[in-house]
Chain A
Amino acid sequence: MAAEDLPSEFDVVILGTGLAESVVAAAFSRVGQRVLHIDRRSYYAANWASFTFNSLLTWIQQHHEEPQPEELQDWSSLLEEGEELIYLSNSDSASIRNVQVFCFTSEEDEEEGAPSTKEDDRGAADGDAVKETPESQSADAKDKAKKQKAEEEEEEEEEEQASQTKGEELSAAQSQSEATRKKISYAQLVKEGRRFNIDLVSKLLYSRGSLVDLLIKSNVSRYAEFKNVTRILTYRHGNVQQVCTISLYTCLFTFEVTFYLFVCVCVCVYIPPFISLCMYISPHLSVSQVPCSRADVFASRQLSVVEKRKLMRFLTSCVEETDEQRAYKARPYLEFLYDQRLGENLQHFLFHSIAMATEDTTTEEGLASTRHFLRCLGRYGNTPFLFPVYGLGEIPQCFCRMCAVFGGIYCLRHSVNCLLVEKDTNRCKAVIDSRGQRISCRHFVVEDGFVAVDRKKRATPPRFLSRAVLITDSSILPSSSDQQVSMVTVPPVAAGCPTVRMVELCPSTMTCMAGTHLVHLTCQSVGSAFEDLSPLVTTMFRTTESPDRETSPSVLWCLYFNMADGSGLDVKGHDLPSNVFVCSGPDGGLSHEHAVRQAEWIFKQILPEEDFCPPAPNPEDIIYNGENASSTGEEEEEEEEEQNKQGEGGEEWKEEGKEEGEGVEEGEEGGDVLEEPSDGGVMFSSTNLTTTPAMH
């Protein structure tokens, strides 16, 4: 497209499509600001993104390539008098490190596939995880080849699918899962790659957290669907124990619709300290379910009735602060729990799984997080957490959609090279985009990855998160329902080690193919992701390193990487013009508080008088009355179309734009579809903004 197609004046230009940036974009657009929202990447949501298996392979490949130092172009010709340039860094690769991939499944379709020896070698590869070993690179080369082949297949498949009815798809999926009981090959993973939505970050939504509140308040919730985390598990004594398994319904924010979708979420796994290597092969570690709601406690088979009473009494007493609790305020939470004489079992649940505390958590903090946990219980189900169907990457996109509906303009593969700053006022007057167009703006919001390191102010030295993504063949705690979403907190294996958070997703969350589970591991980095997390993987799962763990789920494929921890970045105090705001990347916390608070803070700095994300009107409530209908569907569609024309950065964009346009249209006219209690699948196809980000 021609660069001139972009208007040359905006109120706010936002670079980066992470959660905070997207919320900011939606908030501005909603109150009538002209927003240009761009991202250098070819996909939405930056480090918050979700990928299909195949696009994840592409992502991995990108992060293996040496970042090509971009030549700094001289834009001084565009300078006006009294202005100076601030160049932005255009490589975001610094935020991702130590990407390592291991495949434990056979390359090709085999009946009973024993892992090929080659991969064994690779899987057992030395612990030198900091540098990419030649082996792992060769693996990627293989991946690449695979990928190309797979893409061809995929295209065919797509066509097929288009003509297939939903029912047929279902039965196909079923037969698929039956066939894969044996062992899913790598080729199958690639072939079914579109069934995956693999998140780069692993978080959950507290059902009374700020993100859920924001989604409801702003009406953005209508663009997404959520499932309850169904179980909170604990990992101890060498067994995965089910503290509570509950089937929950899918929760829609509109309560009119109730589904019978059962989700399994394993949220927290507690893994006992690994003091020495020999503990890695300890057969005595286990995962169990944490009873946290009244119904859980009632149903729990692990607690004695006396423990049930004690637990309920403790939880009830937490709701309001007592004198006793005040007395312990600054003392360790562990001490407080110990003095409650709850017994080891309950103490473990309360400390690790409910308060998610660490050794230096004070009683005040511990009780505060326990209270938050309890307040969140029961709003949408028996655990306090929600997970978005199709992955967390949906959420930034939902906000982007809201922004677009109110006139925001979107461009992917489009960046800002430098800022034009008025020297006198130290304000950014305009930006120069990657095509050399000068675009005036009154405010500029940018993802921190684009800001040169020397201009940023950090509260703490840069920290990293260690992440692992595993595709496994079964759940860590099999239960009657194989559709569980579980959350597990694994306590530090030894003093100084990080607590590991684990989320296990099932196929009904639309994040993995039938017959597999997707496991996300997250912790604060001590070493590389591989160093931090692979001992745990070896302990809890069956890999080539731990082939004797026959009852544990097998890992088919896994990915390790480190991601910059966004929580260390200060919101203010950077060496930047006063109207430039920096959004940090994902933080290591379980909740989305950090990003939401950051977005709200930025919004309030710029427009202190305006409401932050007021409810968007329902499509059917919009009254068409003549000219001043700035929010009528028609116009939006025009704008969408305009975007389509603008986004010329490749076919994908057009396709995506089209999809989006369609989506909006349906959203506008088909309001009924959203509300009408009908079968979940149907709702999806019509309500998701970009269910399948078109990235090949």
Chain B
Amino acid sequence: MKKEREKKLKIYVAARDACFSKRKEGVWDDGALQITQQLLSSNPDFGTLWNYRREILMHLETVKDEDEVQKIYEAELSFLESCLKVNPKSYGSWHHRGWVSTRLPRPDWARELGLCDRCLNLDDRNFHCWDYRRMVVKKSGVPVDRELAFTDRLIGSNFSNYSSWHYRSTLLPLLHPESPEPLPSPRRPPPRSSPPASPQNHSHRVCEAQLLKEYELVQNAFFTDPNDQSAWFYYRWLLGRGESSPASLLLVFFKRTSVHPRFKHSPVWICDLPPGTISDVTNEHNLTVHWMERHAHRDCALYTGRTESWCRDSATDQELFRSELSVEKTSVLQSELQSCKQLQELEPLNKWCLLTIILLMRALDPLGYEKETLAHFQTLREVDLMRSAYYSDLCSKFMIENTVLKMEYAEVRVFSISDKKLTTLCHLDQLLLVTHMNLSSNQLQRLPPQFSMLQCLEVLEAENNSIEDLEGVFHLPRLEEVLLKNNKISTLADLRPLASCPKLKRLDLRGNPVSGLEEVEAALTELLPSVVDLLL
């Protein structure tokens, strides 16, 4: 046995070397085709050999007439078929097949589709085949509705198939677009010349009648097997994916500050206004900010007697945070929520169901459902321990959103979110003008770099957290008071960012490991000379 294997190896190595030397010499003949074929049929994943083969074929194209070329390529296709039998997931074979198919003088797309169907019947998750099939469909102009029916069939035989669901999500907007845009008639193959509706420029939305049918279909799937995530993902896609409008947040300050070293792109841009622009606070000032790159501009007004102004695009409160599910018709969302609740009654511990309910509730009425949402998060953390941190972060995000929604932002400069089990901070961009922030009694471990956006912050209350890291408390020009009682700051180095806050006067570090260090007081005085009230 061993001997035989060694013998085989010898033959293989010899053939490989012969191949390489032929390629070096630039031999592009039938013999070379033969020898690469031998090697590839035993090892179809040999990329270099496929390249060599392509070189040979391209050479042969130039010397043979069309009929002969057709014949050669057809032989190539049947050779590839045998390679795919050896390894149906060989990158090399599929790629080469794609290449051959496009060079074939008279391609037989029906045959290629048939091959794909056979492969997908054997393994409906062979993504190589899916890729190749998409190429074939594009080239041969299979009508979109036929393709949709194809996904119907595959989903019908086994709905645990991301590829089919995903393919559906690309076909539906083409076949049943939302708006009465000039829709491509379903019978007509998509015109070849016109740019295909690419994901980038297409609306991605589907007309309501079809959406309702899709909801039904996907509900059948997740009621049948609620633990199958492919259906849930598709469902979430159906419910809509908010397209976050490009954040055009500009903030103008009077003084230049430095950008946090951790950011590649600053979320906060600070520019000096020409001296004397706003010398007179008693008058109203109108400023226009131009964004050259996007040719966008925005006016904002600085009202009389104010030193700050807050303006943002017309986003309403409703739209502000709905990035997860875009707002479908409320009635649709409401009935979807009912279905999910029905499933949840049957499967109270199903995580996908719970998560979807939470998202639906967020989309419908984030404040009204707050209590239920929190309870569901609690269940989620219990049933899916592995992801409990993820759920905590998501919950924190929602709690912050709710708090932001609740505050009358234009007036209030105090942001208080204590005792909400927060594990992470986000949406800080919505809080740029906050002067007083209360984060006490949460489960925060760090103040992230984004925290440095809070350029107006004067008082930071963060007692009773688990903060180890103050990275974000950096260059905050107005910060005067930092209360960090009962946290986990353990070294002096952790406190270094505070040194960049020139106005810091009061610092409470009681109940932190760092306060037990030797000579910490002296070191702190040196590090933070502005602090006059230090509690250790």
Please report A residues at the B interface, Cβ cutoff 8 Å: 246, 249, 258, 294-295, 297-300, 305-306, 308-310, 312-313, 382
Contacts and interface: CB of A to CB of B under 8 A. Distances in A.
Interface string B148-182: 00000000111100000000000000000000000
B224 interface: yes
B190 interface: no
Nearest to B153: A247
Contact of A298 (B121, B122, B221): B221
B531 interface: no
A299 B154 CA distance: 12
A295 B158 contact: yes
A309 B121 contact: no
B159 A306 contact: no
A312 B226 CA distance: 10
Contacts of A300: 220
Nearest to A307: B223
A591 B136 CA distance: 46
Q: Which among A246, A300, A308 has the greatest number of chain B C-beta atoms within 10 A?
A: A308
Q: Could you say which of B157, B219, B339 has the most chain A C-beta atoms within 10 Å of its C-beta?
A: B157
Contacts of A306: 223, 342, 346
A294 B118 contact: no
A310 B345 CA distance: 11
A545 B53 CA distance: 74
Given A258-B121, A258-B122, A297 B224 contact: yes
Contacts of A249: 121
Given A306-B346, A309-B226, A309-B346, 15 more contacts: A258-B118, A258-B121, A258-B122, A294-B225, A295-B156, A295-B158, A295-B159, A298-B221, A298-B224, A305-B342, A308-B220, A309-B223, A309-B343, A313-B346, A382-B157
A308 B342 contact: no
B337 to A, nearest CB: 14
B347 interface: yes
B224 A294 contact: yes
Given A295-B159, A299-B156, A310-B346, A305 B121 contact: no
Contacts of B224: 294, 297-298, 308-309, 312
A260 to B, nearest CB: 8
Mostly, the A contact residues are: helix
12 contacts: A246-B157, A298-B159, A298-B225, A299-B156, A305-B339, A305-B343, A308-B220, A308-B224, A309-B343, A312-B224, A312-B225, A382-B157
B303 to A, nearest CB: 55
B219 to A, nearest CB: 5
Interface in B107-135: 118, 121-122
Nearest to B226: A309
Given A249-B121, A305-B339, A305-B343, A298 B156 contact: yes
Nearest to A316: B225
Contacts of A305: 219-220, 223, 339, 342-343
Contacts of B159: 295, 298
A249 B118 CA distance: 12
Given A249-B121, A258-B121, A313-B346, A308 B157 contact: no
A308 B223 contact: yes
A30 to B, nearest CB: 29
A300 B221 CA distance: 11
A309 B347 CA distance: 9
A246, A249, A305, A310 pick with most chain B CB within 10 angstroms: A305
B477 to A, nearest CB: 58
Nearest to B339: A305
B504 to A, nearest CB: 58
Contact of A295 (B121, B157, B219, B342): B157
B215 to A, nearest CB: 11
A683 B514 CA distance: 82
A298 B161 CA distance: 13
B514 to A, nearest CB: 54
A309 B122 CA distance: 28
Contacts of B121: 249, 258
A300 B219 CA distance: 12
Nearest to A298: B224
B432 to A, nearest CB: 46
Most-contacted residue by chain B among A298, A305, A308 (CB, 10 A): A298
B367 to A, nearest CB: 30
A378 to B, nearest CB: 10
A402 to B, nearest CB: 29
Nearest to A301: B220
B532 to A, nearest CB: 65
B76 to A, nearest CB: 20
A445 B487 CA distance: 88
Contacts of A382: 157
A308 B339 CA distance: 13
Contacts of B346: 306, 309-310, 313
Interface string B216-237: 0001110111100000000000
Nearest to B121: A258
Contacts of B225: 294, 298, 312
A308 B343 CA distance: 10
Contacts of A299: 156, 220
Contacts of A312: 223-225
The 8 A-B residue pairs whose C-beta atoms are closest, nearest first, are A305-B223, A298-B224, A308-B223, A309-B223, A297-B224, A309-B346, A308-B224, A305-B219
A299 B225 CA distance: 12
B351 to A, nearest CB: 16
B217 to A, nearest CB: 9
A506 B10 CA distance: 56
B166 to A, nearest CB: 18
Contacts of B339: 305
Contacts of A294: 158, 224-225
Interface in B331-367: 339, 342-343, 346-347
Contacts of B226: 309
Contacts of B221: 298
Contacts of A313: 346-347
A300 B223 CA distance: 12
A305 B220 CA distance: 6
A308 B225 CA distance: 9
A549 B224 CA distance: 36
Contacts of B342: 305-306
Contacts of B156: 295, 298-299
Contacts of A258: 118, 121-122
A299 B220 CA distance: 7
A246 B339 CA distance: 27
Nearest to B217: A298
A163 B342 CA distance: 65
A612 to B, nearest CB: 31
A547 to B, nearest CB: 38
Contacts of B118: 258
A540 B519 CA distance: 97
Contacts of A309: 223-224, 226, 343, 346-347
B252 to A, nearest CB: 54
Nearest to A255: B122
A427 to B, nearest CB: 49
A282 to B, nearest CB: 32
B412 to A, nearest CB: 45
A309 B158 CA distance: 17
A671 B159 CA distance: 37
Most B CB within 10 A of own CB, among A246, A310, A312: A312
Contacts of A310: 346
B158, B220, B343: residue with the most chain A Cβ atoms closer than 10 Å = B220
A162 B461 CA distance: 96
A3 B220 CA distance: 69
Contacts of A298: 156, 159, 220-221, 224-225
Contacts of B220: 298-300, 305, 308
Interface in B193-225: 219-221, 223-225
Contacts of A308: 220, 223-224
